[in-house]
A and B are shown apart, each in its own frame.
Chain A
């Protein structure tokens, strides 16, 4: 179209296009919000039956999943206790994060800051490939060969050193358990490390090169630059990477179900079998026979939400406090 005096500023097309995209992107957010609200709401609704037969307090703090009993007078009393599975979830996820966060972030630092380019590209590809391995495959590997190897190496070593001091790290040397909470944590760590590496790598790469050069130009070593400039600048993104991985660790079901042993109660040692929320739901859902039992499992789902949220919050606060301490030192 020819440009004339009248139309040389256009016909407001730019404004209309912007408005269109604002609506488009805005509605995507609304859809995501509705979906989330819908999930929570449906969980709350399906959990309702269980609150007729027991209180939320006894549900959260009861440590046995003992089912429900019909009293002689016909009334039903629920004995669903979620505490042990919540414990199992938190502990296995924390073990996983404590291993995966440092290993993953250090590996990402290596890939970005130290690895020669010829090595970095294939290694990165490998890591991304590992992040894509289906968890059931990891579960198969973990439940068989890996589980025994971990038991006879890491677990044995921890149990025979720290285990002598802390009973919750002890193990019966004659009959080590075939499955354990600790091992579930390690398997989770293996599953989430690639994810931590992949995201952390992107985050560290996005720290401007000019900042590194500025610090090196003042007489800093590579390590000092990483410690005082790169990691602080990447802090928010790295926290995000760890939180995403945590979300996966908390919710991971198949592989955990295959290695944790699915035993009732809080084990006296990390080297004994336990259970997580996700593994409990997965192994009990198909056989749930009453609306109250289904309700109890839905209530567990809500607990899973809460655990994820609270753990994320805790990690965020921890990082912020650590950063404030570090900020004063640097």
Chain B
């Protein structure tokens, strides 16, 4: 364990380019709430990424470029490590005690695992929406959206109220909740709760939003609403979405990455490319079988 950590440290040190990197590191995280992201911001690059649970390698040597301001879908059979990979992108896996990451992930060229990077700040820049809607039960609808802003240090009431409204509008929820902002977030329907969680993620003005099967707990109409929303959000955010629904992947995403599992249950990237290409003219037989529904 200790040895593993030592290796990981060395590797991430090797990937940093001295002090210039350190100062660059601070910039996206320290960006004040309110400053809009630049057009080219939010491009993720994965190099030889591996994620372990203890000794088990759940993600195997993945290199992938995630384009800024585009929707990238991660597809593949259950257990091939999609969620694991997604959580490694904003260091959420660090909440799991035995999970470790090797390889590099950079956001606009900055090492997300660099020695001076604060994982807490990483998660403000790379936000997350979960499979099951998880509004905070002790907070109101307003409070749910405002909570991240307050964490980021916003204290002016007017500013918070403005951003909450803006975020709820972007999440296509404002009209449904504007008259009951003080009711608990858990009083909403499942689809509304998920849009509330999206609003909550948007409120802290991330550059990247990770979504892990955001519609799997929702009915078809709520799902369509979220898909529409994802397409709109693409103009401002880089979106990475895990989905089991092939139609959904083809409807919402610009690029698709297909993962599979090896003999050792370790997940690996089979191929990635523009969505139309993956769905109509994949280069691998495995991909063709999967998107045609003949496997997994």
| Chain A residues proximal to chain B, CB less than 8 Å | 116-117, 208, 210-221, 224, 228-229, 232-233, 235, 327, 330
Q: Does A211 contact B147, Cβ atoms closer than 8 Å?
A: no
Residues of A close to B134: CB separation below 8 A: 208, 210-211, 213-214
Q: In the complex, are the beta carbons of B132 and A232 less than 8 A apart?
A: no
Is there a chain A Cβ closer than 8 Å to B53's Cβ?
A: no
Secondary structure call for the A interface: helix
- 6 smallest CB-CB distances across A and B, nearest first, come from A219-B124, A232-B138, A217-B128, A218-B148, A214-B134, A210-B134
Which chain B residues border A233 with CB–CB below 8 Å?
136-138
Q: Do B123 and A327 have beta carbons less than 8 Å apart? A: no
Number of interface residues of B (CB under 8 A): 28
13 new A-B pairs (CB below 8 Å) besides A217-B128, A218-B201, A219-B148? A116-B97, A210-B134, A211-B134, A213-B130, A216-B92, A217-B127, A217-B130, A218-B200, A219-B124, A228-B147, A232-B136, A330-B139, A330-B143
The residue on B at minimum CB distance from A219 is B124
Q: Please report the C-alpha to C-alpha distance between residue A185 and residue B290 in the assembled complex, in whole angstroms.
A: 68
B-chain residues with CB within 8 Å of residue A235 when the two chains form the complex: 138
Chain B window 91-105, contacts with chain A (Cβ cutoff 8 Å), 1 for yes, 0 for no? 010010100000000
Contacts known (A214-B130, A330-B150); A219 close to B92, Cβ less than 8 A:
no
In chain A, what residue has the closest Cβ to B139? A330
User: A330–B137 Cα gap in the complex (Å)?
Assistant: 12
Q: Which residues of A contact B139 (CB under 8 A)?
A: 232, 327, 330
Greatest chain B CB density within 10 A among A117, A217, A232, A327 is at: A217
Give the most central of A210, A214, A218, A232: most B CB within 10 Å: A218
Q: In the assembly, what is the distance between CA of A132 and CA of B139, in Å?
A: 38
**Is B151's beta carbon under 8 Å from chain A?**
yes
The answer, yes or no, to whether B58 is at the interface (CB within 8 Å) is no
Q: By the criterion CB–CB under 8 Å, are B123 and A216 in contact?
A: yes
Asked if B121 CB lies within 8 Å of chain A CBs, one says: yes
Residues B147 and A213 in contact, CB atoms below 8 Å apart: no
With A117-B97, A224-B151: A217-B136 Cβ-Cβ less than 8 Å: no
Q: A116-B97, A221-B120, A224-B151 are in contact. Are A215 and B136 (CB under 8 A)?
A: yes
Residues of A within 8 A of B292 (CB): none
Q: What A residues does B138 contact at CB under 8 A?
A: 229, 232-233, 235, 327, 330
Chain B residue nearest in CB terms to A218: B148
The answer to whether B197 has its CB under 8 Å from any CB of chain A is: yes
> What's the Cα separation between A215 and B95 when bound, in Å?
12
Q: Provide the bound-state CA to CA distance between A219 and B152, in Å.
A: 8
